[in-house]
Amino acid sequence: MALTMKLTVIASFLLGLVIAFSGSEILRVAYGLFMFLVGSFLISTHELLRRQMVNYQKDLDRINRICDELDQNTKIIVQTDLELTRTQEALDKKLAGLFVLHELSKKILSVRSVVDLCRLVTDTVVTSFGYERALLCILHPDEKSRPLVAAQAGFELEEGKLMEVPKLVDWVRFPVLARGESVFASDVDLRSPAPAGLTPEQAQGEAPRVIGVMTGLRSYAVVPLLLEGRPQGFLLAGTNPPYPKLDDGDVELLSILTSEVGVAIENLQLYEALKISHDELEERVKLRTAQLAKANDELVRLNRLKSDFVSAVSHELRTPLTSIKGYTSLVRAGKLGPVTKEQGERLEKINRHTDFLTNLISELLDIARIESGRVGMTVRSVELPRLLDGVVDLLGPQLKEKNLTVDIRIPAKLPPLQADENQIQRVFTNLLSNAIRFTPEKGTITLRAAPTDAALHMEVSDTGIGMPPEDVSMLFTEFFRADNPINRERKGTGLGLVLVKRIIEAHGGRIGVRSEVGRGTTFSFMLPWKPAPQPDAQAS
Amino acid sequence: MPTWVGVGQSRQPDSYRAGQEAAGKALEMMGQPHADLLLVFASIRFDQESLLRGIASAAPSTWMAGCSTAGEILSEGPSRRSVAVMAIRSDTLQVVTGLGSRTSLNSRLAGQEVAGQLLQGKIPNPHGMLLFPDGLTGNAAELLRGIQDRMGLSFPIAGGSAADDFSFTRTYQYFQGKLYSDAAVGVLLAGPIAVGIGARHGWRPLGKPRRVTRGLANIVQELDGHTAVNLYETYFGRAADSLKAGSLADMSIVYPLGMPIPGEEEYLLRNVLKVDPATGSLIYAGEIPEGSEVRLMMGSKERALEAARKAAEQAVLSIAPRAPTFALVFSSCSRARLFGRRSGEEIAAIRQVLGRTVPIIGFYDYGEQAPLSAAGFRGLSYLHNETLVVCAVSAN
């Protein structure tokens, strides 16, 4: 546009010159007209341009306004984002702390000693929690200034001076250990020296600074470690610039950590105590078991010695007794001269007592033999009804004498019992004679047998005088005799029931007794069924 | 012609033992008694001298390079307050390391010094270089220019600037077992190998474009005629009052400035390192020339994750059909802040693209070096911020 206008102006000027010098009236008029046209064209163009410029300016203003508005929105966005970022960072820090705490508590589970635990904690505080240095102290329960366990991490050994832990404990004691409070310092001036000549008690206000100087930490926190509810130690953790100073969140985190550590230490101490007492107990049980085993061996040996002794003595006694009995009979029969009535009575007494002694010795011998296992049972099929009939027949005179009824209740088809017939006969003889002895006249003695799948259960009950419980419990003891008028009147060996018990036990059975004074006594025993011995086995 | 690679890490509280443990593990995994190259990235929580002595005691190596970090990166994911060591021995890959010192004095000269040392060996077939400059001193863009003066404009450079766990006080560079500050360490990768580099960030521009009206190198004094710090104060609103000068830089790290680059898909980003409380100037991790048009940028986790995946794809694609033998990852410290606890996802995404068995080492840094991908720049390496750089090396 500018170029066209310039050309137009130059062309008009040249044309004007030509016309001015030419002198033609028409040309002058034409020139005037032409100039007028050009002028109005220029004016209108300028007006158009001006209007366009105004429009452009409006647009520009609008865009600028929108831009500013958008910029305002940007501020909101940035501020929101900033807020979010800060929240996220704070959250991240907390989360990271909790995560490490979680990881640590998993690791703590496998630690088995307090020293290892302390080392694990301080290492984790430095490597995972991101503190520069950490110190965990557990103090001696009696001497409060002596650390029982101390673990540290992040203190460079090359710094030359190892931190004097007992001295540090002196400064930590008052605020942390005595009052159970945390000490927290965010900006300690490390260059100023520790106050000289002042004891920690005198300069409590100085404690935070001194602790910082001693540990070389400008920002740190000391939190108490509670054991059984009392501060027994502390955890110290801190940083130096450029790492960020500790804040309330750090103290909180360290407190959570120490309380967890406290629980873990208590558990460990309990575990250690438990383990020690468990080991001690086990040791004692072992010792006692060994002692008992030894005593038992000794008892077994003594018992065998006793049995051997009894059987030897019995044997040795039997021979002279036989002679005594023989000679007594000889004298009594009058073969060595006449015997007066008084002599006869005395000889009769000697004979009776000799019989008693023989009986006693043979029973003793039998018991000893059965006990020592030297006498085997000769097992064969026993028809119980037949055996019982024999026993009742044998005792017939005594039964008749007291007018007693014997009631035998045995199932018709009882399978034969595999046992030693003579010994079983002895059992019944013994039990029945006992029953006869203690049952008053016109009483009843009942024999019962009831087979089950595993064993034959038998009972011998009477309607006799019965026994008090204290006698029942002693019944199967050697030489025991219940104290009652009948026993006082008649002599007994006190070995009969012992023998019965030994015989039944030798057959694999058991015997028991119930009794009630004035109502009667019931002996019940069982003998297990045994397979009949094979003919071959018998032959061999 | 095999290549053996091993990676080791340690979180030991004791510095010397941590170094020993990490280097020992790396050597053990590599299965070789001696390494050609050790790459070491460690937290500043360690006593740096003891740490390096620990490493040297456990793993003898011909070349050694590395730096302090704001977090370490390994195949298993990111980690903080640890030391990570990668040991490499190869029949194909040849390496040389170089050091440029006093970057704050003359960054360009320091760059030339590094490149000069790398070229001294006259190793044939150089394919690229790794660079670990101080992230707080000097002008990293100038440093790159110095290197390019010697190596050529299109020479691929991948790297991360040393960091110091967000304290922005002092960073360390490791070179041949020794400790440096205000320096730049370079590693030349040469031989019949392939090096692929991918760089992305995923940040989006936000708000009105502004012009740098007064600035010098990486210091922005005025934006649109206002004090530079005013920008963040307006955007952060009331929150800015509660954030003191120190923590303002701490927060604004997630909101960098972006410069549009012709032909490039993404903006070139610049991190705030410090706020000068006296003048209200902003000190950035990279230069922002006066007159540049800049915009405030904001990141989102989803986009940043997508960017990580794309960076890895770009790296793998540029060495195809060869498969990566090992990979280096340099991620901006601001990305660690953005992702928070989810930063593992970024590494997982990269691992998925690279292949699960490829050993990875890297760190969270204060600035990244990587080539621009737009055709107009012919592979010129640039300083980036908030960016994720994946460098895949195939040496089999």
Burial of A148 (0-12, 13-18, 19+ CB in 10 A): middle
Count of Cβ atoms closer than 10 Å to residue B114 Cβ? 29
B262, two tokens? 């012709």
Residue carrying the six token digits 């045995």: A410
Of A118, A126, A119, nearest to A100 by C-alpha is A126
In the predicted model, what is the mean pLDDT of residues B245-261?
Answer: 74
Distances (CA, A) of B304 to B75, B204, B307: 19, 10, 5
Q: What are phi and psi of A444, to 5 degrees?
A: -125, 140
Please state, in angstroms and rounded to a whole number, the distance separating the CA atoms of residues B273 and B181.
17
Between B318 and A205, name the one with better pLDDT. Answer: B318
- A110-155 pLDDT, tens digit per residue, is 888 888 888 888 888 888 887 888 888 888 777 666 677 778 887 7
Statement: residue A159 has pLDDT above 60: no
In the predicted model, what is the mean pLDDT of residues B34-45?
Answer: 92
Best mutation target, A63, A78, A125, A152, to test chain B (most B CBs within 10 A): A78
How far apart are the CA of B283 and the nearest CA of chain A, in angstroms?
Answer: 19
B237, two tokens? 């609103």
Least confident of A10-19, A45-54, B4-13, B336-345: A10-19
CB B181 within 8 A of CB B275: no
Statement: residue A370 has pLDDT above 50: yes
**pLDDT at residue A202, rounded to an integer:** 66
**pLDDT at residue A540, rounded to an integer:** 37
Least confident of A139-143, A290-294, B57-61, B191-195: A139-143
Give the β-pairing of B35-42 and B61-68.
Answer: parallel
Chain B residue numbers touching A96 (CB-CB < 8 A): 341
How far apart are the CA of B246 and the nearest CA of chain A, in angstroms?
Answer: 12
| Residue A466 Rama label (left phi>0; alpha psi -120 to 50; beta) | left
Of A319, A416, A426, nearest to A370 by C-alpha is A426
In the predicted model, what is the mean pLDDT of residues A175-184?
Answer: 78
Statement: residue B246 has pLDDT above 60: no
Best mutation target, A63, A74, A79, to test chain B (most B CBs within 10 A): A74
Beta strands in B50-165 (DSSP E): 61-68, 72-74, 77-79, 83-90, 94-101, 126-133, 157-160
Q: pLDDT above 90 covers what percent of chain A?
A: 10
**pLDDT at residue B242, rounded to an integer:** 55
Nearest CA in chain B to A95: B341
Cβ-nearest to B13 among A74, A86, A154: A154
**pLDDT at residue A295, rounded to an integer:** 94
**pLDDT at residue B171, rounded to an integer:** 93
How far apart are the CA of A261 and the nearest CA of chain B, in angstroms?
Answer: 20
How far apart are the CA of A61 and the nearest CA of chain B, in angstroms?
Answer: 14
Please state, in angstroms and rounded to a whole number, the distance separating the CA atoms of residues B36 and A501.
95
- Confidence grade of residue B348 (pLDDT, cut at 50, 70, 90): very high
CA atoms within 13 A on the CB side of A130: 22
Nearest CA in chain A to B297: A78
- Confidence grade of residue A211 (pLDDT, cut at 50, 70, 90): confident
- Confidence grade of residue A71 (pLDDT, cut at 50, 70, 90): confident
**pLDDT at residue B286, rounded to an integer:** 80
CB contact under 8 A, A156 and B166: no
In the predicted model, what is the mean pLDDT of residues B233-239?
Answer: 73
CB contact under 8 A, A78 and B251: no
CB contact under 8 A, A79 and B254: no
- Beta-carbon contacts of B152 under 8 Å, excluding residues fewer than 6 positions away, are none
Best mutation target, B20, B47, B81, B171, to test chain A (most A CBs within 10 A): B81
A423, two tokens? 């010994």
Between B17 and B217, name the one with better pLDDT. Answer: B17
**pLDDT at residue B43, rounded to an integer:** 92
Of B81, B71, B80, nearest to B163 by C-alpha is B71
Nearest CA in chain B to A80: B236
Please state, in angstroms and rounded to a whole number, the distance separating the CA atoms of residues A347 and A357.
15
* Predicted TM-score (pTM) of this structure: 0.64
Of A371, A376, A367, A362, nearest to A303 by C-alpha is A371
DSSP code of residue B75: T
A374, two tokens? 């030297």
CB contact under 8 A, A86 and B341: no
Nearest CA in chain A to B298: A78
Nearest CA in chain B to A84: B338
Chain B residue numbers touching A154 (CB-CB < 8 A): 13
Please state, in angstroms and rounded to a whole number, the distance separating the CA atoms of residues B132 and B89.
21
Respond yes or no on whether ipTM tops 0.85: no
Residue A515 amino acid letter: S
Is the alpha carbon torsion for A71, A77, A79, A85 positive or negative? Answer: negative
- Number of Cβ pairs < 8 A linking chain A and chain B: 81
Please state, in angstroms and rounded to a whole number, the distance separating the CA atoms of residues A301 and A142.
55
Cβ-nearest to A82 among B14, B251, B341: B251
Please state, in angstroms and rounded to a whole number, the distance separating the CA atoms of residues A31 and A37.
10
Of A476, A504, A501, nearest to A417 by C-alpha is A504
**pLDDT at residue B233, rounded to an integer:** 80
**pLDDT at residue B313, rounded to an integer:** 93
Residue A199 amino acid letter: T
Helix (H, G, I), strand (E, B) or coil at A120: helix
Please state, in angstroms and rounded to a whole number, the distance separating the CA atoms of residues A286 and A28.
148
Of B306, B377, B322, nearest to B354 by C-alpha is B322
Please state, in angstroms and rounded to a whole number, the distance separating the CA atoms of residues A154 and B47.
10
Q: pLDDT above 90 covers what percent of chain B?
A: 45
Residue B211 amino acid letter: R
How far apart are the CA of A280 and the nearest CA of chain B, in angstroms?
Answer: 40
DSSP code of residue B391: E
Least confident of A224-238, A334-348, A483-497, B188-202: A483-497
Interface of B with A (CB under 8 A): 11-16, 44-45, 47, 50, 80-82, 164-169, 206-208, 234-239, 251, 254-255, 296, 298, 337-338, 340-341
Q: pLDDT above 70 covers what percent of chain B?
A: 95
Statement: residue A272 has pLDDT above 80: yes
Residue A269 amino acid letter: Q
Statement: residue B328 has pLDDT above 90: yes
Nearest CA in chain A to B171: A242
CB B351 within 8 A of CB B309: no
- Confidence grade of residue B55 (pLDDT, cut at 50, 70, 90): very high
- B113-170 pLDDT, tens digit per residue, is 999 999 987 888 889 999 999 988 888 888 999 999 999 888 999 999 999 888 888 9
**pLDDT at residue B245, rounded to an integer:** 52
In the predicted model, what is the mean pLDDT of residues A80-106?
Answer: 84
In the predicted model, what is the mean pLDDT of residues B52-76?
Answer: 92
CB contact under 8 A, B14 and A67: no
Helix (H) or strand (E) holding A310: helix A248-332
Statement: residue A536 has pLDDT above 50: no
Please state, in angstroms and rounded to a whole number, the distance separating the CA atoms of residues B130 and B95.
10
Please state, in angstroms and rounded to a whole number, the distance separating the CA atoms of residues A413 and A155.
97
- For chain A, what is the mean pLDDT? 83
- Beta-carbon contacts of A165 under 8 Å, excluding residues fewer than 6 positions away, are A135, A137, A147, A150
CB A494 within 8 A of CB A478: yes
CB contact under 8 A, A92 and B341: yes
**pLDDT at residue A537, rounded to an integer:** 42
Between A209 and B369, name the one with better pLDDT. Answer: B369
CB contact under 8 A, A78 and B11: no
**pLDDT at residue B396, rounded to an integer:** 79
Nearest CA in chain B to A63: B208
